[in-house]
Amino acid sequence: MTTSGTLRRLRHVCAFVAACCFFIPGYIFASEVTIITHGYDGNVNGWISGMAGRTPLYSRFPGTNFTTYTITLTTDGNNNYFYQWQRTNSAPATTDSGEIIVKLDWSQMAGGSGTYNISTIDVATIASYVLLQTNAITDLGGHALAEFPVHLIGHSRGGSLVSEISHRLATNGVWVDHLTTLDPHPLNNDGFFDPLTVTDASVKKFANVLFHDNYWEDSNFYPYGETVAGSYSRYLTSLSGGYSSAHSDVHLWYHGTIDWRVPAGDTEASITSTERNSWWVAYEQKGTNAGFEYSLIGGSNRLSSNQPLGPGTPAIRDGYNQRWDLGAGNVNNRTALGTNNGTWASLIKFNRLDANPVVQG
């Protein structure tokens, strides 16, 4: 990543969030890893590829080139797990943005016809292992994906998966900058009773998560999601059109906060002018002031006390870590860790006390 790319990353007022800036001669890596994953009977070939493809076209994306990886997790059914990675676009060291987008594919274990149905607890174990290994992806020159600020995005069972990945990272002393759950639905947990024997991880926001936003609906049509205490939990009530399924429309709603076109398509369904006018409240400005806005790329104010749905509803700052006074006060809204190896104490927030730029080196 070039010096100019690094300075763009410093546009966030007062706080520069970085999970662990590391240096390779000639380049600075201090950008975000955005990890997007699916739920039951899903894969990365549809809406996830659509979301990954539109992210670099977001209006505030900090550069012109980027890296996309597909990481595929598999099993032989005998408690042996494997991963493969494949890159498209440029290698990280050659991009001006330093941004990395990961499509996390666990379709072989996510349930559905002809696949295993394995708990998200087990899937998170191998996924977090890959994120933590310094030799997992040779492109990174001996560094791990978890050394970047991490933004985890998961839909349905994937919401359970990314929550548990954040937990596994926590037990290794690694901060997660941003956790986004989209209509999270862990199988046979959190009050859900599903006709399958597997039990997924509960959806929680652990002490290492800086900001958690949750977008959910309970249309009473199976499946549906849940609210999550300690997050900015945005209840979606006006979902119609799109997929004609409120559960799937949640990830389409989030896609619409990245892709502002009319119509905006994720390769499987589209947001027309009808959805653009009805899915978002006035504060959210038809999706341009919501959702992805609160990522590091979006750069919006996560400490805002604004309540998009009005008085008595969740405020944006409700999703900010208040276990410690990181800017949102002290109200313990995080789940404590049962264990913490503390082997990798990573940086999460760096406050500049003056206006001088941070100089490389």
Residue, of 167 and 13, whose pLDDT is higher: 167
Q: What average pLDDT does this structure show over 174-185? A: 97
Give the pLDDT band (50/70/90) at residue 269. Answer: very high
* pLDDT at site 361: 66
Report whether pLDDT(354) > 90.
no
* pLDDT at site 30: 42
Residue by residue, DSSP assigns 213-247 as EEEE---SSSS-----TTSEEEE-----STTS-HH
Q: What average pLDDT does this structure show over 16-20? A: 35
Q: What average pLDDT does this structure show over 118-123? A: 97
Q: What average pLDDT does this structure show over 333-351? A: 84
Report whether pLDDT(340) > 90.
no
Report whether pLDDT(221) > 90.
no
Give the pLDDT band (50/70/90) at residue 312. Answer: very high
Q: Exposed (0-12), middle (13-18) or buried (19+): which is 217, by Cβ within 10 Å?
A: buried
Q: What average pLDDT does this structure show over 28-49? A: 88
Check: CB of residue 322 under 8 Å from CB of residue 337: no
Report whether pLDDT(343) > 90.
no
* pLDDT at site 311: 97
d(CA 46, CA 24): 35
Give the pLDDT band (50/70/90) at residue 24. Answer: very low
- Counting residues of the chain whose pLDDT is more than 90, the rounded percentage is 81
142-161 per-position pLDDT tens digit: 999 999 999 999 999 999 99
Domain chopping of the chain, boundaries: 3-41+51-90+109-335
Structure tokens that stand for 117 in this block: 């149905």
Indicate the pTM of the whole model: 0.90
d(CA 159, CA 202): 9
* pLDDT at site 350: 76
Check: CB of residue 183 under 8 Å from CB of residue 140: no
Please, where are the H alpha helices in the chain? 3-9, 47-54, 120-132, 157-170, 246-258, 273-278
* pLDDT at site 278: 97
Spatial neighbors of 243 by CB under 8 A, at least 6 apart, are 249, 252, 268, 269
Report whether pLDDT(14) > 50.
no
Residue 356 DSSP code: P
